C-alpha cells in the first residue's frame, strides 16, 4: 500500500515537472520571439477591427432592422429574411449566374495566364519581356468605372466602335445592351483583359524559380521546346496552379460587384444572364430599403463561400497535403 502511494506521488511529481518544463519552454519561446510577436500586433489589430469586429453585424440578417432601434435593438424575425430571398424567385438565378461566371473566369484566366507566362519565359530578349509584362499588367490598375466607359464606347448601338465598323462594312448595327446571349462572352473577355496580367506575373515568378539544370538535362536528352514545356514546366507549375485555383474557388459564390455593375448597370432585360448575388443584394437594398433582407443574401453568400473552400481544401489535402491551404 505504501509502495503504491509512493508510486502515485512520484507520478504526480513527474507530471508537475513535465508541465513546468512545457510552460517554461513556452515562456522561453515568447521571450525569444517577443520582437517578432510585437511586430505582428498591428496586423492582428487591423484584421480584428476591419474583418472580425464587423462580423457581429451579421445578426442583422435575422432581424427586421430599423434605424431607430439599431442593430441589436431591432426585433428578431429568425429566418424570415432568408425566406424572402428564396421566395423572390431570384435565388436560383443569381446563384447559378455567380457560379457559372466564376467557373468560366477560373478556366479562361488560368489557361491564358499559364500560356502567356510560358510564352514569355521561352522567348528571349530582356527588353521584350519587360515591355510585355508591363503592357499586360497595366489593365489590372485601371478602375472598373473606366473599363465600363470603354465598354460602352465600344458597344453603344448608335456610335460605338464595333457598330461603326459594322456599318462601314454594310452590316446592320447590333444592340448589345439588348442582346442577352452575348454578355457572358463580353464579361468574360473584359475580366480576362483586366486580370490576366496579374496572374501571368505570378506564374512567371514560379517559372523563374524552376532549377535551370532540369532544362539543361532535358535539352541534352534531346527534348524539344514542347517536350520541355509539357514534361518540365507545367508539372513544376502544378503547386502554384492548385494554390491559385483554391483561392479562386473560395470566391466562387462571390461576384465582382464593380465589374458587373459598371459593365451592365441597371439594365433590366440583361438581369437573367448578368445578375449575380452581389448586384442582387445591392439592388434589393437600394430599391426596397430592407437592410435585413439584403444582409440575409450576403450571409447566404458568405456561408457557402466558406463551405466551398473547406470542402475543396479537404479534397486537395486527401490527394496531397503539401498542396492544401491548411
pLDDT in tens, 95-106: 999 999 999 999
Percentage of the chain surpassing pLDDT 90?
34
Q: How confident is the model at residue 189 (pLDDT cuts 50, 70, 90)?
A: very high
Task: Give the integer Cα–Cα distance in Å for 52 and 46.
Answer: 9
pLDDT at res. 144: 94
Neighbours of 67 (CB within 10 A): 8
Task: Give the integer Cα–Cα distance in Å for 114 and 241.
Answer: 9
DSSP 8-state secondary structure symbol assigned to residue 139: G
Task: Give the integer Cα–Cα distance in Å for 146 and 125.
Answer: 33
Lowest mean pLDDT among 19-23, 45-49, 56-60: 19-23
* Mean pLDDT of the residues in the chain: 85
Asked if the 84-323 domain carries CATH number 1.20.1250.20, the reply is no
Q: How far is CA 272 from the centre of its chain?
A: 23
Collapsing DSSP states into helix, strand and coil, what is residue 68?
coil
Global pTM value: 0.82
The enclosing H or E element of 258 equals helix 257-264
pLDDT at res. 263: 93
Query: Domain limits of the chain?
Result: 2-73, 84-323
- Phi/psi for 63 (5° steps) reads -130, 155
pLDDT tens for 198-242 read 999 999 989 988 888 888 898 888 888 889 999 999 999 998 998
CA dist 228 → 20, 51, 157, 161, 292 (Å)? 57, 44, 48, 42, 56
Which triple of cell numbers denotes residue 124? 528571349
Amino acid at each position: 500500500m505504501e509502495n503504491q502511494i509512493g508510486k502515485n506521488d512520484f507520478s504526480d511529481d513527474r507530471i508537475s515537472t513535465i508541465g513546468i518544463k512545457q510552460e517554461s519552454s513556452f515562456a522561453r519561446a515568447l521571450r525569444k520571439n517577443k520582437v517578432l510577436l510585437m511586430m505582428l500586433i498591428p496586423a492582428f489589430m487591423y484584421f480584428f477591427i476591419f474583418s472580425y469586429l464587423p462580423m457581429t453585424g451579421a445578426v442583422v440578417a435575422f432581424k427586421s432592422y430599423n434605424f431607430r432601434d439599431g442593430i441589436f435593438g431591432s426585433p428578431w424575425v429568425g429566418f424570415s429574411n432568408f425566406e424572402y430571398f428564396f421566395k423572390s424567385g431570384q435565388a436560383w438565378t443569381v446563384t447559378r449566374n455567380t457560379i457559372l461566371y466564376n467557373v468560366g473566369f477560373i478556366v479562361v484566366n488560368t489557361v491564358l495566364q499559364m500560356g502567356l507566362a510560358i510564352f514569355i519565359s521561352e522567348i528571349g530578349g530582356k527588353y521584350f519581356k519587360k515591355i510585355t509584362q508591363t503592357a499586360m499588367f497595366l489593365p489590372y490598375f485601371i478602375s472598373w468605372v473606366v473599363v465600363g466607359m470603354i465598354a460602352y464606347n465600344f458597344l453603344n448601338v448608335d456610335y460605338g466602335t464595333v457598330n461603326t465598323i459594322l456599318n462601314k462594312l454594310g452590316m446592320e448595327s447590333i444592340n448589345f445592351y439588348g442582346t442577352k446571349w452575348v454578355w457572358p462572352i463580353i464579361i468574360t473577355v473584359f475580366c480576362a483583359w483586366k486580370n490576366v496580367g496579374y496572374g501571368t506575373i505570378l506564374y512567371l515568378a514560379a517559372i523563374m524559380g524552376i532549377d535551370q539544370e532540369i532544362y539543361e538535362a532535358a535539352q541534352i536528352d534531346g527534348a524539344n521546346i514542347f517536350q520541355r514545356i509539357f514534361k518540365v514546366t507545367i508539372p513544376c507549375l502544378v503547386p502554384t496552379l492548385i494554390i491559385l485555383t483554391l483561392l479562386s474557388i473560395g470566391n466562387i459564390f462571390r461576384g465582382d460587384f464593380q465589374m458587373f455593375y459598371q459593365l451592365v448597370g441597371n439594365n433590366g432585360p440583361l438581369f437573367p444572364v448578368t445578375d449575380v448575388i452581389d448586384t442582387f443584394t445591392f439592388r434589393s437594398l437600394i430599391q426596397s430599403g430592407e437592410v435585413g433582407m439584403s444582409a440575409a443574401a450576403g450571409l447566404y453568400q458568405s456561408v457557402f463561400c466558406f463551405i466551398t473552400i473547406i470542402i475543396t481544401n479537404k479534397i486537395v489535402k486527401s490527394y496531397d497535403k503539401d498542396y492544401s491551404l491548411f
